[in-house]
Amino acid sequence: MLEYSLVFIFPLMMIFSSFSDLFSMSISNKVSLVLITAFVIFALVIGMDFNTVLWHFATFAVVLTLGFVFFALNIIGGGDAKLAASTALWLGWAHTGPYILLASIFGGLLTLVILKFRSQVVPEKLNTMQWVLRLHDNKNGIPYGIALGAAAMFTYPSTPWMEKVIALSISG
């Protein structure tokens, strides 16, 4: 049963954070706390060695530090910085580079789509939806959590987590 949680908790948090950012332009700290807590639990369950756990936390610290530098420069939001770091915790060094690259590509595409959307008049049927109006407003940023979540979903299947899930499924 736990292996199914392992398969789904990370993707569910990515999906939740993406929709949360789209609809509210914010990502709750609870998402990062769930990801960090789940990482520790699953690392213990699968028997991840202490050295590997430390490297994962080092990856988290580096991404969090860089994220807050970007936040201070008003490039990304604080929720984006925390989400990227807690995602990097799960991915580790080997998969964080590809994750950041994919997030950058998806973020660039997302930005182009939203800028195009903002150059158009909001359709009358959508004119009463607050989240659409917030997304359309040039004063607001880009809900980058969507790009972070999508990049994580593309990266996650190639991680060692999936190997462990398959091994637990076969032995269970």
Listed in sequence order, the residues at least 6 apart from 32 whose beta carbon sits closer than 8 Å to its beta carbon are 82, 83, 85, 86
Res. 161 pLDDT band, cuts 50 70 90? confident
Res. 166 pLDDT band, cuts 50 70 90? low
The owner of tokens 């990304």 is: 76
Radius of gyration of the CA atoms of the chain, in A: 17
Query: pTM score, two decimals?
Result: 0.90
**What does the domain layout of the chain look like in residue ranges?**
2-171
Q: pLDDT digit string (tens) for 77-135?
A: 999 999 999 999 999 999 999 999 999 999 999 999 999 999 999 988 888 899 999 99
Mean pLDDT for the stretch of residues 9-23:
95
Listed in sequence order, the residues at least 6 apart from 102 whose beta carbon sits closer than 8 Å to its beta carbon are 150, 151, 154, 155
Q: pLDDT digit string (tens) for 68-78?
A: 999 999 989 99
Mean pLDDT taken over the chain: 91
More confidently predicted of 163 and 93: 93
168, pLDDT greater than 70: no
Residue 31 to residue 153: CA distance in whole angstroms: 15
pLDDT at 5: 72
Q: pLDDT digit string (tens) for 40-68?
A: 998 888 888 999 999 999 999 999 999 99
Comparing 9-13, 98-102, 156-160, the range with the smallest average pLDDT is 156-160
Answer yes or no: are the C-beta atoms of 91 and 59 closer than 8 Å.
yes
CA distances to 31, 137, 142 from 60, rounded to whole Å, are 15, 32, 23
pLDDT at 10: 92
Residue 35 to residue 14: CA distance in whole angstroms: 10
Residue 172 to residue 158: CA distance in whole angstroms: 22
The owner of tokens 């756990």 is: 53
